[in-house]
């Protein structure tokens, strides 16, 4: 069993690494207006064991996981990419005692579960560092940066020992990033050069060349799917930390993948009834429970804030806003359960296999992009035709028919964007947004009706529910009035593409 710890903390690490020869003299920071004084700290002896899967899956995603002893920050450290020069570091304390075979804390493993899945995490390298530290202080007396001069001794498991010297320049949290310019100049003047590796571990393992990144794929549809699979895995981490809007973004990535696969004209060798498409739909549905509740909570908060206080009667905020917030928490926990299941890992394995497989060439004389756009647009036209018929017949399922147009337009938007048809993508997005507002109104009205019934049964004033229902009804009508114009604009864009 893995060691369990909920005592994790997060930090943003903004740093640059530099290669330097053994004979280099440490730089001077004298004369810089941004640095008023430099304070040397006692030398540190750091020892770290790095963990990864047998295939180095974490390293491939530019993630490092280590157990460090010595220094001022001993503990388990998980470092995640967070933009240029920055990483998010998640820390967990060391275990009590001195375990013979330390196990990765569950709290850290869970953060990268979408990457490691059911694969084991074991030591892949050991790195020892003799570190000299200089803390740099600004004119106001606050620390602005830390300069580290490291003598490194490292080896991969069963690998030869390596030794080198490197410099690290790390800004303190909240420091101005513009400080990098003058400080970096001093290091370069002292003979340093930007490091040829993103981390000490990358240098030991020889990883991180980016050759398997989505940008390396030549086919635009494959590249788009690969990018969305990567986005899905990144948003997975955010969902596990309950970052605002992360459920929504992960759901969007899931739906983009499904739409692109459906409109790929067999480029991935899967049919419309393939199990991967069904699993993506199921995953989006699970995430949708939390997402829909999140939307309702924000929607009702805004609507109630816009009403005169005299029109907000009874415990309507508790029922609508707080009730939706509680439902979000339930949906989020349900999403986490799904994201920790073998079924989810199997889906991720299959998606990675799809995007790394060589795409079949297009038929002679055909461009795959034209075929996929045409196929996706035909689905929009078919859905629009059914919606018009339902409206003419005053069919009770007209809302469902309009929602189907939205889904088809969304599929067309993702396909058009992936194949460089920007105008078509924009027009499809307009329809998606318009009918998205309509669908939100449909869901909201149904929810308002149920809550009004419960409020009435409890003897509460239901006046406010009626006001909100009418607002949603008026919004739906405005959306319906704009659908035909939006469809005509899309038709013109497709015809010119």
Hey, where are the domains in the chain? 9-205, 215-496
Cα separation, 207 vs 409, in Å, equals: 41
Q: In this structure, what token pair is assigned to residue 243? A: 């970052």
Half-sphere exposure of 182 (CA within 13 A, CB side): 14
> pLDDT exceeding 90 applies to what percent of the chain?
78
Q: 215 phi and psi, to 5 degrees?
A: -65, -20
R_g over Cα of the chain: 28
CB 32 within 8 A of CB 186: yes
CB 19 within 8 A of CB 195: yes
Cβ burial, residue 158 (10 Å; 0-12/13-18/19+): exposed
Pinpoint the alpha helices (H) of 73-179: 106-111, 113-116
**Residue 443, pLDDT above cutoff 90:** yes
More confident residue, 492 or 361: 492
Cα separation, 300 vs 225, in Å, equals: 35
Average pLDDT, the chain: 91
| 9-205, CATH topology level | Hypothetical Protein Pfu-838710-001 (2.40.320)
**Residue 367, pLDDT above cutoff 70:** no
pLDDT digits over 289-342, tens only? Answer: 999 999 999 999 999 999 999 999 999 999 999 999 999 999 999 999 999 999
**Mapping DSSP to helix (H, G, I), strand (E, B) and coil, where does residue 1 land?**
coil
Q: What does the angle CA 237 – CA 336 – CA 62 come to, to the nearest 5 degrees?
A: 20
pLDDT digits over 182-225, tens only? Answer: 999 999 999 999 998 888 999 998 865 444 566 556 678 888 89
**Mapping DSSP to helix (H, G, I), strand (E, B) and coil, where does residue 26 land?**
coil
**Mapping DSSP to helix (H, G, I), strand (E, B) and coil, where does residue 197 land?**
coil
- pTM, 2 dp: 0.84
**Residue 264, pLDDT above cutoff 80:** no
Q: 161 phi and psi, to 5 degrees?
A: -75, 140
Q: Residue 382: its pLDDT value, please?
A: 96
Helix (H) or strand (E) holding 349: helix 342-356
Cα separation, 27 vs 147, in Å, equals: 10
Cα separation, 255 vs 354, in Å, equals: 16
Q: Residue 364: its pLDDT value, please?
A: 56
Q: Residue 206: its pLDDT value, please?
A: 82
**Residue 83, pLDDT above cutoff 90:** no
Q: In this structure, what token pair is assigned to residue 443? A: 């869901």
**Residue 363, pLDDT above cutoff 80:** no
């Amino acid at each position: 069993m893995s060691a369990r710890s909920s005592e994790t903390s997060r930090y943003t690490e903004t740093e640059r690494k530099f290669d330097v020869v053994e004979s280099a003299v440490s730089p001077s920071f004298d004369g810089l207006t941004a640095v008023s004084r430099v304070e040397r700290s006692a030398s540190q002896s750091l020892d770290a064991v790095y963990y990864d899967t047998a295939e180095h899956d974490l390293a491939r995603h530019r993630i490092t996981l280590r157990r460090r002893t010595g220094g001022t920050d001993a503990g388990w450290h998980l470092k995640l990419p967070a933009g240029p020069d920055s990483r998010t570091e998640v820390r967990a304390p060391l275990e009590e005692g001195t375990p013979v075979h330390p196990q990765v804390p569950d709290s850290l493993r869970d953060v990268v579960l979408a990457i490691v899945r059911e694969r084991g995490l074991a030591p892949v390298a050991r790195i020892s560092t003799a570190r000299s530290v200089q803390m740099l202080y600004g004119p106001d007396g606050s620390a602005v940066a830390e300069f580290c001069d490291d003598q490194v001794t490292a080896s991969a498991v069963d690998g030869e020992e390596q030794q080198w010297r490197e410099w690290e320049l790390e800004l303190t949290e909240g420091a101005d990033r513009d400080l990098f310019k003058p400080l970096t100049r001093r290091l370069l003047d002292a003979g340093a050069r930007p490091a040829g590796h993103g981390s000490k571990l990358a240098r030991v393992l020889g990883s991180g060349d980016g050759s398997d990144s989505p940008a390396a794929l030549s086919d635009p549809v494959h590249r788009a799917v690969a990018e969305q699979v990567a986005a899905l895995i990144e948003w997975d981490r955010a969902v596990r930390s309950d970052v605002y809007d992360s459920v929504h973004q992960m759901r969007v990535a899931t739906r983009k993948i499904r739409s692109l696969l459906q409109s790929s004209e067999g480029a991935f060798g899967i049919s419309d009834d393939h199990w991967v498409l069904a699993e993506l739909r199921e995953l989006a549905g699970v995430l949708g429970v939390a997402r829909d509740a999140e939307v309702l909570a924000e929607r009702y908060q805004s609507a109630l804030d816009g009403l005169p206080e005299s029109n907000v009667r009874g415990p309507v905020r508790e029922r609508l806003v707080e009730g939706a917030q509680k439902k979000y928490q339930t949906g989020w926990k349900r999403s986490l359960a799904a994201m920790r299941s073998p079924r989810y890992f199997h889906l991720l394995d299959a998606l990675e296999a799809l995007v790394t497989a060589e795409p079949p060439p297009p038929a002679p004389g055909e461009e795959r992009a034209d075929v996929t756009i045409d196929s996706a647009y035909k689905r929009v036209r078919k859905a629009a035709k059914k919606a018009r018929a339902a409206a003419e017949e005053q069919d009770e399922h007209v809302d469902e028919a309009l929602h189907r147009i939205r889904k088809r337009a969304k599929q067309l938007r993702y396909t058009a964007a992936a194949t460089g048809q920007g105008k078509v993508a924009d027009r499809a997005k307009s329809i998606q947004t318009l009918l998205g507002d309509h669908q939100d109104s449909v869901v909201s009205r149904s929810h308002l009706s149920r809550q009004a019934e419960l409020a009435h049964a409890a003897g509460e004033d239901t006046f406010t529910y009626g006001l909100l229902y009418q607002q949603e009804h008026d919004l739906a009508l405005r959306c319906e009035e704009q659908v035909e114009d939006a469809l005509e604009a899309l038709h013109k864009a497709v015809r010119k593409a």
